[in-house]
Amino acid sequence: MSTVAFDVEAVRKRTSALDRPLVFFDGPGGTQCPDEVIDAIARYLREDNANIGAPYETSVRTVELVERARVTAGRFLDCHPDEVAFGPTMTSLNFLLTRCLGRTLVRGDEVLVTKLDHDANVSPWLELEHDLGIVVRFVEVRDDLTLDLDDLERQLSDRTRVVAFPVASNAVGTAPDVGRIVELAHGAGALAWADAVHYGPHGPIDVSGWDVDVLLCSPYKFFGPHLGLAFGKRELLESWRPYKVRPAANEPVGHRFEHGTQQHELLAGFVAAVEYIETLGWEAIVAHEHELGRRFLDGLPERVELYGLRSMEGRVPTFCFNVSGRSPEEVAIELAAREIAVWHGDYYAVEVMRKLGLEGTGAVRAGFVHYNTAGEVDRLLTALGEL
């Protein structure tokens, strides 16, 4: 692994929310914001709050902010700034974009989704199936909860229009082979439609290198405010008829898929979040998270059943598990009493829980990000041992 130095204590001092006894292993549901992100939001509201399109100074500065947010998004995703769109959430953007694509689909067209997906990249397609008579098929996962690429290849046909998939599973942490999925999709003449929400805080997103056609993510998962962000290839976005009000501009092309006045203060926070990540560097973040994950896996008590990969290869540090003799809810409550924050349930990963036979109960989920420490991981392991 990398030998890049990572001073986690110095990093934590930049996020006042961490200055408390509570240990945040709830990053898969939303990360904590560094102070510089919070300050950027407050500063915009205090100094620049305005709508765009007017000649006075705060409106002019707001236009500049929107442009800076697009440039920042292009840098974060590795795409042209014009190819990005902001919205309230990834889910809302995905419903919108799938509806735009839906105008080009006909009965019998096929969409492949996976059993690793968060439902935000499943239900939009199921609703198109309901409305248009397209066919949605599910790609299987293997017993170790990796994506079955052989099954994906078998299910591709000349009617396949989209392959929708996660860059990382929000439930069990599996990180599928993006390059191979895109290769298979494009080989069948289908679009590669990526959900990078859960991957966002764990590694660099490279839409150009991956050659995905559409990708969505959520800044509140990578230390920013509650917001949605989407990328689409220019030629694809230009080919769709957008759902928008008539006076809204058609350029930049991504703007066609943004409804109404944007959350300008949140765009300020988004810019600050990306700049925060850039000061740390992905190499150091990935190496630190890898060590935290390995520490957790090496120390897992025997009576804890882990679902998914037993090493840090092919995954991000998000762990799904149950404790023998305890319900997931009981475990989460007991850990909360010890000031350790985890989730329980299905986290909208419906098909994963069906695969595991955990419908209705779900499992415990703990996720690590770069601001977590080895000592915090040890606290979790000790508490699980006590339970």
Name the pLDDT band for 221 (thresholds 50, 70, 90).
very high
Pair (170, 315) in one structural domain: no
pLDDT at residue number 198: 98
Tell me whether residue 1 is in a domain. Answer: no
- Residues 117-138: tens digit of each pLDDT: 999 999 999 999 999 999 999 9
Residue 356 has pLDDT above 70, yes or no: yes
Question: Bridge-partner residues for 165, per DSSP?
Answer: 194
Q: Say if residue 32's pLDDT is above 70.
A: yes
The CATH number assigned to the domain holding 311 equals: 3.90.1150.10
Residues 193 and 291 placed together within one structural domain of the fold? no
Residue 220 included in any domain: yes
When divided into structural domains, the chain yields a total of 2
Residue 219 and residue 114 in one domain = yes
Q: What pLDDT, on the 0 to 100 scale, is given for residue 4?
A: 57
CB atoms within 10 A of CB 59: 16
* Residue 52 to residue 339: CA distance in whole angstroms: 44
pLDDT of residue 1: 40
Q: Mean of the pLDDT values across residues 159-166? A: 98
Question: Are 234 and 300 part of one and the same domain?
Answer: no
* Assigned domain for 262 exists: yes
By three-state DSSP, how is residue 130 classified?
helix
Q: Among the three residues 225, 250, 277, which one is the final residue of a domain in this structure?
A: 277
CATH number of the domain that 266 lies in? 3.40.640.10
Nearest one of 33, 34, 32, 31 to 14, comparing CA atoms: 34
Q: Is residue 241 part of a domain?
A: yes
Q: Is residue 343 part of a domain?
A: yes
Query: In this structure, are 255 and 285 located in the same domain?
Result: no
Tell me 169's DSSP state.
Answer: -
Mean pLDDT of the chain: 97
Q: Are residues 240 and 312 in the same domain?
A: no
Q: Per the structure block, which two tokens stand in for 340?
A: 């350790």
pLDDT over threshold 80, residue 332 = yes
Domain boundary, last residue among 248, 277, 306: 277
Number of H helices, E strands in the chain: 14, 13
- Which single residue is written with the structure tokens 């920042």? 72
Cα separation of 151 and 200, whole Å?
A: 26
Q: Is 310 a domain residue?
A: yes
Shared-domain flag, residues 205 and 345: no
Tokens 């490279």 -> residue: 206
What is the sign, positive or negative, of the torsion defined by CA atoms of 127, 101, 203, 63? negative
Residues 237 and 341 grouped into a single domain: no
Q: At which of 262, 277, 292 does a domain end?
A: 277
Six-digit token pair at 308?
């998914």
Any idea which residue has 């979790």 for tokens?
Answer: 380
- In which residue are the tokens 């092919």 written? 314
Per residue in 277-324, pLDDT (tens digit) is: 999 999 999 999 999 999 999 999 999 999 999 999 999 999 999 999
Q: What is the mean pLDDT of residues 142-163?
A: 98
According to DSSP, the residues that pair with 323 across neighbouring strands are: 304
* One domain for residues 109 and 147: yes
Instruction: Provide the 3-class DSSP secondary structure of residue 364.
Output: strand
Answer whether residue 2 is part of any domain: no
Q: What single letter denotes the amino acid at residue 101? A: L
293 and 214 share a domain?
no
Return the H-helix or E-strand segment holding 360. Answer: none
DSSP 7-42: -HHHHHTT-GGGSSS-EE-BGGG-PPPPHHHHHHHH
Instruction: Give the residue-averaged pLDDT of 351-367.
Output: 97
Tell me which residue range forms the domain holding 237: 39-277
Do 252 and 340 belong together in one domain? no
> Is residue 3 in some structural domain?
no
**Rounded to an integer, what distance in angstroms lies between the CA atom of residue 358 and that of residue 363?**
7
> Do 257 and 363 share a domain, yes or no?
no
What is the amino acid identity at position 51? Answer: N
Is residue 77 within 8 Å of 254, Cβ to Cβ?
Answer: no
End-to-end CA distance of the chain: 33
